[in-house]
Amino acid sequence: MVELVELVESVELGELVKSQRLLKFKRKKLNKFPEIWEVLEKRKKMKYFVVILIFLIGFSASAEILIPMDLTQTNHLKAYGIAFTALQEQIVVKWLLNYRGGSYLIQDSGEIENLCNIKGVSFEQVSSSNVASIFAEIDAANMDVVVLEKEPKIAIYTPPNKQPWDDAVTLALTYAEIDYETVWDEEVLAGLLDEYDWLHLHHEDFTGQYGKFYSSFRNTAWYQEDVRNNEELAAKLGFNKVWELKHVITEKIREYVKNGGFLFAMCAATDTFDIALAAGSIDICDAVFDGDGFDPEAQNKLNFSRTFAFENFTLIFNPYQYEFSSIDASDYAQLRGAEADYFQLFDFSAKYDPVPTMLTQCHTNVINGFLGQTTSFHKEFVKKSVIILGESLQVEEVKYLHGNFGKGTFTFYGGHDPEDYQHRIGDPETVLDLHKQSPGYRLILNNILFPAAEKKKLKT
């Protein structure tokens, strides 16, 4: 700024133009540079400095906002909302992979600055020369620049009677102020998923066993209401049993991904989704769930070629056991306890593997673990074609994974709430204003922006 003021003080030019309309426009642009305006007013030569003004406007237009995502950021979660809002306003967002925790570079505008200030998001104004230096640093290291083109249209698969403790993704989107819509079975069967770029699966049990809460909660009002609502909806849609409806829903979602959709699932929606795909039309439910027994040959009839992420797992049919199959590693995580439960993100090549790099952007690569109905996945049951994004290395447990299917992708993230180690049924929802820098929640929000990335040929 000092150099620019000195430049204005030193230049002597002839009268080039006297357009008052142009001068008024320049005055508005120079509101950001009061020192320069003061010099111009003092010298009474405002209308003669069109060349300098044009230069200054170019300087202003070339400035950009850097939203750092390293430890200097005051609110990581709302920073994602800023990027999403910029996309909605058709402002280009550059995602700087592996640069200061996966920072964002956005064209400078008063609207974005005000939004950052209102939401408590740290930002830095950077000049064109500083941007060039940043890009040079990125080019020389394991970093890359991904252009985000357009905000994705987001759908959350969630029931009408959703409880506030049900879903960390809904909490994250609401806190970050990212727009989404909800869908349920009727919308899925009607083919409405094609209207959305990104789909999150609420912590749903796609096996039709009502979360296997029978042993502990069958006499509670909320459990009985859940059973009644599901049975009524299944009958309305022409299905004799709830599990038959849920298995068809998984096939519809599978087709959605095959055609190019982005799927994200957490907790029980991860393993039960693949269990339902493997089972197909086979009855795997005990009589307490559907009125008759399961197929005694169900285990042998599973078709693992239909699944996304898991294979060779063993079903658990006992309705009194709070577990669906051998995939889940919840019991092992509970034995370790909160102090010893953590997982590590892998470091990918940003230039050659941009997708997993985007999904693992964080200000730390070691993240505290958290339990869920499905906490993590035993590595022996994860398909070899799947990319492991994060795991507990010493115990062979996968926490976070990603894969491709058809034209689309799927990402599974074990656990229920990244900031509540053992979030129990009936507990109040997590207050994210107390966890503004949550690494675990950042992984959720990485998945929101991933579909907005500029399409280019990937190595993964």
Euclidean distance between CA atoms 146 and 129, whole angstroms: 20
209 lies in a domain? yes
The pTM (predicted TM-score) of the whole model is 0.85
**Pair 28, 76 in one domain:** no
**Pair 119, 24 in one domain:** no
* DSSP structural state of residue 379: G
* DSSP structural state of residue 31: G
Non-local CB neighbours of 288 within 8 Å, separated by 6+ positions: 214, 218, 319
441 lies in a domain? yes
**Pair 362, 424 in one domain:** yes
Q: What is the pLDDT of residue 45?
A: 47
Task: Say if CB 310 and CB 383 are below 8 A apart.
Answer: yes
Task: Using the 3D structure, point to which of 19, 43, 62 is the last residue of a domain.
Answer: 62
**Pair 138, 227 in one domain:** no
Euclidean distance between CA atoms 361 and 389, whole angstroms: 11
459 lies in a domain? no
* 331, two tokens: 């019991």
Q: What is the domain-level CATH number for residue 334? A: 3.40.50.880
Euclidean distance between CA atoms 452 and 460, whole angstroms: 18
Q: What rounded mean pLDDT belongs to the chain?
A: 87
458 lies in a domain? no
Q: What is the domain-level CATH number for residue 113? A: 3.30.70
| Domain carrying residue 385 | 154-452
Euclidean distance between CA atoms 163 and 426, whole angstroms: 8
Euclidean distance between CA atoms 107 and 86, whole angstroms: 9
**Pair 141, 281 in one domain:** no
**Pair 205, 102 in one domain:** no
Q: What is the pLDDT of residue 16?
A: 34
279 lies in a domain? yes
Task: Using the 3D structure, point to which of 131, 148, 165 is the last residue of a domain.
Answer: 148
pLDDT by residue (tens digit) across 175-197? Answer: 999 999 999 999 999 999 999 99
**Pair 258, 291 in one domain:** yes
Q: Residue 152 above 50 pLDDT?
A: yes
379 lies in a domain? yes
Task: Using the 3D structure, point to which of 97, 122, 148 is the last residue of a domain.
Answer: 148
**Pair 136, 255 in one domain:** no
**Pair 178, 258 in one domain:** yes
pLDDT by residue (tens digit) across 25-69? Answer: 344 444 545 555 565 455 444 444 444 444 444 444 458 999 999
- Quick one: what percent of the chain has pLDDT higher than 90? 73
Sequential DSSP letters for 83-133: HHHHHHTT--EEEEETSTTTEEEEE--HHHHHHHHHHT---EEE-HHHHHH
**Pair 104, 172 in one domain:** no
Number of domains in the chain: 3
pLDDT band at 164 (very low <50, low <70, confident <90, very high): low
The stretch 430-441 carries a mean pLDDT of 96
**Pair 325, 178 in one domain:** yes
**Pair 226, 375 in one domain:** yes
